[in-house]
Each structure stands twice: as C-alpha cells, then as structure tokens.
Amino acid sequence: MANRATGELARREFVRRVIATGAGLATANLGLAGCGPKVAAGAGEDLGPIEKGLNLYLWSDYLADDTVPNFEKEFGVKVTVDTYESNEEMAAKLMAGASGYDLVLPSSYLFPVLFSKDLLAPLRRKYLTNWGNVAPLFLNPPWDPGNAHSVPWGWGTTGIAYRKDLVRERPDSWAVFFDERYRGKVTMLDDLRDVIGSFLRLRGRSLNSVDPAELAAAKQDALKAKPNLRAYVSAPVKAQLIAGDVWIAQMWSGDAQQAIAEQPAIEYLVPKEGGTIFSDALVMPRSAPHQRAAHEFLNYILRPPVAAAIADKTGYGTPNQAALPLTRAKVPYPTADELGRLEYQKDLGQGSEQWDRIWTEIKAA
Ligand code: SPD
C-alpha cells in the first residue's frame, strides 16, 4: 500500500518547507494572558488501580494501527475511540456535557476556552515516568504552563496538497483557490480557522485577526473561491486526492503525507504567504471516568517506539525527542527563525462570534 521511499522524500520536502518558513512555542505570541489553569502540576491524590476501560476522543487518522491494540493487550483495558474532524466539533460536544471521555486531543488555541470552562483535570506527573522523552521545545508551552494538564501528541502545518501529474503550475499561493481552471477539482478544509485564516494570510494579515475590515475582505475572498470548490472537506479528502477526483486541496501536513504514501504524484507545500503551525496535545477532562487508565495511556504514548510509530503512520511531527531517531522521516523541530512565516492559531476571545457568523454566511452562500 504505502510507497515508503516516495513518502520519505515528500516528508523531507515538507520539512524543508517548514524549515524554510516556520518561533519556538515559548516565544510565540499566543494571546493567552489570563487564561491559565487553576491547579499546579502533579496535584491530586493517588488514582488507585487501573480501570478496565478507556474512552478516547481524538482527531481522525491520528493513530498508528497498533497503538490501541498493543495498549489493550499489555494493560488489559478495553479502549473505545471516537473521532472528530475539527476542534470546534470536539469543543461543542465537551461543552454540551459529554462526560464519558477520558482523553481528548485539542490544538493549542482551544486551551484558553477549555480552561475558562474549567473542563481540564490536572495530570499526576508521578504516573508519567516517560515524561523525560518530551523535546524541550514542547515543555512549558504558553497555553499550558508547566504542562500541568497536557501531554503533547503531534505538530504540523496547514498548506496545500496537489497532484503534480494533473496540475501544470505549482500552486504556491492561497490565490490558487480563485483559479477557475480548477473549478470542481479543488477543496478547502471544513474548518473555519483554516479557511478564513488562509485568506487573511493571502492579504498579509494575521490568521488571528479580529479586525472587522480585514475579516470582511477575507470573507469576500472565501466567497470568490467558493464556486470553484468541490467541497469543504477535511481528512476524507485524502481518498479523493488519491483517486484524482480532487487535484488541489487545502490540507493538514500529516494528512497530506498519508495521501502521499498512497499516491506518489501528490506533493505538499506551505504557500508563500505562510500558514498555520499547530501543536495538538492530549488532555483529561475533569469528568474522565478512567483516570488511572488515562495516565497509563499517556505514559504509553510517551514511549519512543510508540510515538515513532504514530509519527510514521500519521505523517505528523513528534514532540517526543527520544522517538525522533526511530522515525523514518526524522522530522527535525523548527527553530525560532524558521517559524517566522508560520503562525500559531490563538483563541479569538470575543472575536469568535464574528468569525462564527462569517463562517455561517460563507457556508450558506
Ligand atoms: N488527522 C489529524 C488532523 C490533526 C489536525 N490538527 C490541527 C488542526 C489545526 N487547525
């Protein structure tokens, strides 16, 4: 199935582009002031014996095939996995009171919202004996001081994947979505932050802008692109790109690498105007019913071979320093300088309503 050699080449190209584009987590301006957690790392009593079940709520296509089966076998725990396609879908479910989940996997910009609703339990570091494998870049991030509530899972970028056998010119600008030659053959992510954010970047604006005029312009751009789009679609676009039904797709880097592994004619790039860099991390809701099993799972994914297998299967960068030499692609971490043209998504605060309204209008048009 996967063409490993070509996949590795494409990954190196991805890394080269991240490196050519891409500020350390600790220095990134994430707009998180006043949004921090209320409890310090390691707080809480002992968790007791491991439970028999574990309920995960994760982004789709973000596991290696053997991650869950091997954990179930070793720990005698039955794991259920529900998946989602966007941070907003997951947050809506948690905020509506979904209570059975033990671990969920938000991107960094969602942390202030989850903290503001007091949804996250502090982690007991004493159960995380493999914590020392986390790369320094992912320690003490601004969105979770002291990593008190999260274990980093993966990082990546938002860019463009395209079929180089079907598209003559390299689509290295977000403006490609205006090109009528590709009508019906292009898709954008079903994700308001990435769609509106990319048109803000096209005009040289921050992808976290809450300026009404800048957002109005981004909306107009999105409406201009919409007639060309086959759909707003996230992870499921992989199959359409592999089949050649879609030629150009806004995609997350790892999902693009998964498609490249199946179809070597696909290439991934970060547009010249720049784009998103994201970091996703596992967190435990306060309502988690299986907290000891959750900690065992967190410690398990901190094992280098487990983290390496996840990175290799999913195409996302691993925050696990000890796993890096075990991965086929050995994706190095971006430096502060390299991150210059990439931007972390921030919580939009009061601006969220404006973004939501614009997104609803775009989708309804
Ligand atoms: N299939 C896994 C996708 C993970 C994407 N996470 C971050 C998205 C940021 N907009």
| Domain 157-276+345-364, CATH homologous superfamily name and number | Periplasmic binding protein-like II (3.40.190.10)
344 CB near ligand 1 (under 6 Å): no
Residue of 107, 251, 344 to mutate, ligand 1, most atoms within 8 A of C-beta: 107
pLDDT in tens, 76-119: 999 999 999 999 999 999 988 878 999 999 999 999 999 999 99
| Domain 6-155+278-332, CATH homologous superfamily name and number | Periplasmic binding protein-like II (3.40.190.10)
238 CB near ligand 1 (under 6 Å): no
Q: How many angstroms is it from 21 CA to the middle of ligand 1?
A: 19
- Cα 214 from Cα 224, distance rounded (Å): 15
Q: Check: CB of residue 25 under 8 Å from CB of residue 49.
A: no
pLDDT in tens, 309-355: 999 999 999 999 999 999 987 666 666 666 777 999 999 999 999 99
190 CB near ligand 1 (under 6 Å): no
What are the residue ranges of CATH 3.40.190.10 in the chain?
A: 6-155+278-332, 157-276+345-364
Residue 177 to residues 145, 172, 199, Cα–Cα distance (Å): 38, 11, 10
Among protein residues, the one with the nearest Cα to ligand 1's atom 5 is 252
282 CB near ligand 1 (under 6 Å): no
Nearest to 108 by CA among 276, 281, 275, 298: 281
Indicate whether 142 pLDDT > 60. yes
Q: How many angstroms is it from 340 CA to the middle of ligand 1?
A: 20
Six-digit token pair at 304?
A: 């280098």
Q: For every residue of 234-275, which 3-state class applies, written as one string?
A: CCCHHHHHHHCCCCEEEEEHHHHHHHHHHCCCEEEECCCCCE
